[in-house]
Structure formats: C-alpha cells, structure tokens
Structure 1
Amino acid sequence: MGRSLTGTVIITGGNGQLGSEIAIAIAKTQPFAHILLTARDIKGADVRNLIAKVRLIGPRSIEVISLDLNDLRSVTGFAQSTVERVRSNEIPPLVDLIHSAAIASYTVDELTLDGYDPVYQTNCVAPFFLTISLLEAFRAGNGTPGGGAKVINIGCSAVSYGRLDYFDRDRGRGDRRLGTPISAKEGNVRYGSSKLLASVALYALRRSLTSTGKISLDIFTLDPGGMAGESNLRSGAPLSVRVAHQTRSGLRPFLRMLSRSSMNKANVPAKVIAKVAFQRDAVETCQAERYYILDREYEAGSVIPTLRNGSQMGKVLVKMMQQTEIGGKGTRSTGSVSPGSALC
C-alpha cells in the first residue's frame, strides 16, 4: 500500500448487521488500519460479500478469523495468537477492540461447555475475557497510537430491563425442557441483564487499569439506537419482539434522550462508531466515564446508575475475574488487573 499500517482494529461479530457496516465505515475512513474481523463461521456467503465490498473501496488490509464466543477455549486461542502476532510485528498493535457480537434468545437454552447461559457468555463473559486477554496487544503499542487505544462495547437500551443478579438466580431451567419458549418480557430481561453486566464489568475494568496507570486504554459503551433491517441477533423471538424491532414503540427509556429519530439503517451508527474509534483523546486517571447514544456523549453514571455505586462495581469486577479465570484456566494472564484497585 506504500505506507505502513497504523494499528489493528478488531471487530467481533464482523459478519453481522452492525459489525459488517462498522468494517465498511472504517475501511472508507482509515485506509491504513488493519481490520481484523471475527466470525463464528468464516466460510459463509455474508463473509465473502463483506470482503468483496471492502475490496471495492480500495486496497485495504483486512482478514476474517474464526472466533466462537460460546467457547472460552476459542477466545483463549484467538487472543494468544493475536498477542503473538503483535509481538512479532506481523500485525500492528491493537488500537481498537469493538465488541459488536451479541445474541438474544427467547427459548430455554443448553448451557455452554463453560457452564454459562449462552446469552450471558456471548454478551458479557466472553467480551470481558477477550479484553483482558488482549491487554498485551494494546501494551505492545504503549496504548497510545493514534491518540489512545479504545475498547468499545456496543450497548443497547435493553439495559433498562437488566438486573445485576439475573444470572445468579435459578430461572426455572430445571423444570423447563430445552427449547421451551420464554416470554418476551423474560427474554428482554435476560438480554438486558447480559448487556448491563458487560457494561458495568468493562467500566470497572477501566477504573482498575487507569488507577494502576500501566495501560492508557479507554473503555466505554456506545448505544447505536434502534436499527431497521434483518438481524441475526435473536433466536426464537416471539412476534411481539419482531414487531417492536421495526417500530419506535419498541425503544426504551435511554433512547428518549435523543431528540431525533433513533431508528436508522445500520450504516448510520456504524459511521458514528468508526468516528469515535479514531478520535484523538487521552485517558486521565479517574476522569468521568463516557457513554454514547449514537453521536451524543453522556456521563456513563447518568445512564447506568450502578456506576455510581463503587461497591457494586467492585463486586461485579471480582466476579468476572473469577469466572474468566475458571473458564480460561491454564491460560497465562496477558495483563495486570487488580480488582482491589478498581475504584477511584
């Protein structure tokens, strides 16, 4: 390409409705970024079509690698390989990690091999584990290429349904057969709880990292708003949920902060995410965390009240560290995280 690459951008769920549009938006605006997409199935037509679209933009460095977030061994293998590739200068240091992959389910599902609800593991446990497992890839670039490295957690308004203790409870799995439908209300609480826990855990991780001062890494949640079009997000969704996805009546309290319509094609929030991912801004110790709803910036604690409760955040961080340590046992930690120093 005539110029060295400036950094690697990882997008999980890179073949999904939003993930693919994020890849295209970054390819258009960041010609010298190495775009590393992850997908559970890398041989599908959606992956081939996406690569073809990116190639039409111009010569870009892009690859798609298999990653199954429902298997922490897959996460471990991907992270270790990526860190080694950065160390050996095969790919440039990681400047952006965008957690775009997510699932929702409205049926009783079998637990993953790691022993978790698949919605919880895909949306929360695996993204957290992937983040801490890739810390060395950020550190290799000293955390500052292009104005500071970022982890962007794709959120949603469903966190207003979420409960921090949802996955600690017995949800009646024992007396309900696998595949049994669950109500739209419970499915929304289940999904919202997974996304709430992911946001809280990642903000708590950010506080721990900034307090140690070892890694200049910003971590925040960005709510893309409602998106029109087909999505691979839901499985077994009842009709009421499918209809709500296409109407503003399905949007919940946090999206009411917007004065304009929140229902957009996926390329609209994708452009915002691509812009925010490459903003030049520094991370200061104990500065207020940011939370985005499309291109509007808020103090994270004003959107997620749990972030104002240091004790709760500390408990969530400790729990996540314990769960990922068990799930990824045998894996050497690639970063230094101290749950005890998570709060400023």
Structure 2
Amino acid sequence: MSKTPIYRIKGLSHQYHSSPVLEIDELTIPGHSIIGLAGPNGSGKTTLLKMLAFIEKPSSGTIWFDGKEAEPFSPLVRFQVTYLPQLPYLMKRTVMDNVTYGLKIRKDQGDHRLKGYEALSMVGLSGDELANRKWFELSGGEMQRVALAARLILKPRVLLLDEPTANVDENSSRLIRKAALLAREKWNTTLLIAGHDMDWLMSICDDIIYLFQGQITGRGRHNILFGPFQQNSEGGWEQTIGDFQRFAVTRPPSENSVAVILSSDMHITPQNDSIPGKGNAVKGVLTNLRIETFRNTVVATVMVDGFCFIVDLSEDQKHNPNLYPGREVFLSFHPKDIKWQQP
C-alpha cells in the first residue's frame, strides 16, 4: 500500500431529483490499496463508485486523482480507471470480442488475442474453451468473470467493483478474489469494492469504509449495527438480528445513530455460559478463521442470520480446539463498549 493517495475528496455532495444521496466532507484513498465499501442498500456505495470512476459528476465538491483535480472523461483519468457494475453488460459478440474491445478503443498495437487469453486466465477461464462462445451461452458466474477480464486486460491503475460476488457461485467468488489480488500484485492496481458479503470483503480488503444514508459512519475492520433500534417493554434498547435474536444496546443518541463495536470487544464461545456481558448473546456459525500477521492476531468471522461479525480471538481461544469453521458459537459484546456515531 502506498502512502501517496490516489484519490482525495473534499466537500463532495450529490443529489438525485433534489434528494441528497451522498455527503462526504473529506476522504483519501491510498494508492495500491484494496478498500471495501459497506453499508445497507441505498447508503450511497454505488453513487460513490460512479463518482470515483468519473462517469458521473457530483453536484458539488472536488475529486483529485493522483494529485490533480479531475472531472468525468478528462484525459487525466481516461483508461486509468475502470468500473464494473453489479449487473455487467456484454456486447452481443463473442467472449474474445468482449474482452479485447477496450484494447481496440485504446488503439493498442499488441497481440489482442494473446492478451485476451491472459486476461481470461486471470479470472479462471480457458480461452481455448470460451474465446468463440457467444455472450448468451455463458452462465451468470462466467458472464461476471468475462466482464472482469475485459477490465483487467487494460491493466488499470484503479479498478472499481460494484457487488462483484452478488450473483455468482462460491467458485466464481473465489476466482474473482484471486484475480483482484493478482491485479494489485502485478500492476499495483488500487481497488475499491462495494459489497454486502462482509466475510468476502474482510478476506481481501486492507480497509473498509462504512456508509449510511450517504455519509461515512466509520472506517476500519470493525462491526456496525445500523438502526432503527427498538425500545422494549422494559424500557431498554435493542437491535433485532434476523427474525428472533436480539442484541441489547445502550440508548441511541438519535433514531439515525449507528452502533460501532470493535472486533476486540466482541467475544465468542462454544457454550452459552461464561460469556462476557452474559445475557447479551446471540447464536451464530463460525465461518472463517484467518491470521492477520500485521496485527499478530487471529480473526474469526461469525454469521448470525445473514449478518456478518468479526471477532479478535483471545490468546486462549487461538488454541481452543472447539473453535473451528462450521461450529455453532455464541457471540456477545457488552453494551457499554458501543461507540455511537451519527451519519
């Protein structure tokens, strides 16, 4: 990751039909980094990606690219930044024609077919098998990866991905992750990835930016609970997780408040006893364990009724044979550890 920012944003604001959808006072994105954008539907993730792709101009504010002020379709950013929407569009041509189209537009003089084979290989597809296949003969996962190959062939300085794993199977998701990491390794590409799959985002991103109602509510590898929060019959406050489970929280400062819980303040155990903050536990499944060498810790990913949480394991838990992927666990935190933020 470079210390020099590839993007700098100041006073960014955007409206659709006079309704504000994005308000960002200031933001920097380091070069050569992989940054995730997380938040509920309508939080502004796609709008921000379009601003950073320079395909849509903000209502107000300034975006600097590589230290220079940039606007849509300016020579500074043309062919430097490429964007893959959630539902990729393929031309009614062969796979190879789709993958190499950008090279033709750029008037690249190299061997387009060879480069097309290399780009397809990066996303786990065989040029021999797919080069002459028509666009309508592809599965959803193949279509997504062909569209990604059409971006990778340009060796972009910045690659923006909008929900790249939303409509693909697990194997395609894994291959998309591999291709994204390879782009950074080979070309120092900076990636910004919007997604709902927090487990996937955590596995690839250096940093995660959380958006809510068009504003940044947090940044880092921590847990976010979005409102609204409910007051129960006893006067306490809580957040429903899934259909039946609930987390107790302290009183939110406002109805739009966002609860932030650090991964170091989350706890898991195989049993529903001896839990710190007992009485505030929900049942989930431990889906992943990974080592974060730069923090010298082991991080667990726990899914609770479709919600993803990350937990730093204690020294004792790192050696607990009863904590393994697929194991049912209980997840808890103490309400006093919540850090409230306003969008």
TM-score, L = length of structure 1: 0.30
Greater fraction strand: 2
User: Larger relative contact order (C-alpha < 8 A, sep ≥ 6)?
Assistant: 1
Greater fraction helix: 1
